[in-house]
Amino acid sequence: MREAAFGGRPEADVWAALRGGVEERWLAAVVLGGQGHYAAAASVLGELIGRGGLFGSLAASTLASHRRQLGGHAAARALDGRALALAPGGDGEDPDDVDPAGARADALLGLAADAIGTGRLDEARRLHARVEPRGWRSRVRHQWLAAEIALAGGLAEGAVHPAEVAAATAREAGATRHILKSDLVLGAALVVWGTPESVDRGVEVLLCDLNHTDRRGLFSLVWPTALVLANAQADRTIAGKENMKERAENALSCVLRRADPTGRSLADRSPWIPTALLRSGEPPNADPETNFLTD
């Protein structure tokens, strides 16, 4: 289960693990969320949150992440706050940050991401600065947030280095899903930076990223990657833009079908999620350049 959640098999079939122990069920929910099975993950995570303790905290942070991926930053904030309150004292030496220190880092980084999504950039910076990452997973997420804070502040060039550090750290850990998310953040930063060279490199990174996420069925990453490509300045052909737009629509449609009613409602109301792309004849409800990367 660790290999599926944090290693090289994010596409693994983990449904049977939903009947396992507490850690096994949490790991299964992490994997299912990456695959876009938000409803199945939410049912498990809600039960784990009610148990409290370490895995209650980790479950709350995970559900918050899934809510953010559907544009529900305000809903995620309440869950991240609960995650922080549930996190036990102590440190720990777990290699994947599945310990008290990792739980606190997850909660604080989640709160920072929530702040970005609700326009409180100074708060995001303060929360980000409070985190002392230990294991590879918190180091990767810490760099994601550094990149996303730079992007939200209009400093796309400054987002490139932390995204590169995140990608390198994830590769060293052999964490496929985190590699692909890091490459999404890097590609978006390069495209938004907007120089001819950065856009060309960003498109190249994102095209490779899209092939891998699509092949592994990681629909939660497929649709934003395709959407950035659809709006990249270097994608000069109408046919190419329409193809990427269609891939984004198909992946997002799949994700929303797999979401629970709360998740679908959050996505429908969110300015971060272009759900109107799925409705013929309506203008999109999200600016294609907005920052929908925070998870």
Report the chain's mean pLDDT, rounded to a whole number.
Answer: 92
Ramachandran region, residue 281 (left: φ > 0; alpha: ψ -120 to 50; beta: rest): left
Distance CA 279, CA 256 (A): 13
Give the pLDDT of residue 240. Answer: 79
As a whole-number percent, the residues of the chain with pLDDT over 90 amount to: 86
CB 31 within 8 A of CB 5: yes
Integer CA distances (angstroms), 123 to 40, 149, 154, in order: 32, 10, 16
| Displacement of CA 248 from its chain's centroid (Å) | 16
Look at the block and give the residue holding tokens 């009613």.
261
pLDDT tops 70 at residue 290? no
Q: Does position 274 have pLDDT exceeding 90, yes or no? A: no
How far is residue 160 CA from its own chain's centroid?
17
Give tens-digit pLDDT for 166-183: 999 999 999 999 999 999
> For the segment 30-77, what is each residue's pLDDT rounded down to a tens digit?
999 999 999 999 999 999 999 999 999 999 999 999 999 999 999 999
pLDDT at site 237: 67
Specify the range with the lowest mean pLDDT, choosing from 14-23, 184-193, 245-254, 278-287. 278-287
The position carrying tokens 């013929």 is 280
> CA 81 to CA 273: how far, in whole Å?
23
CA distance 33 to 157: 30
The pLDDT of residue 117 is above 50 = yes
According to the model, what pLDDT value does residue 157 have? 97
52: left (phi over 0), alpha (psi -120 to 50) or beta: left
pLDDT of the residue at 279: 60
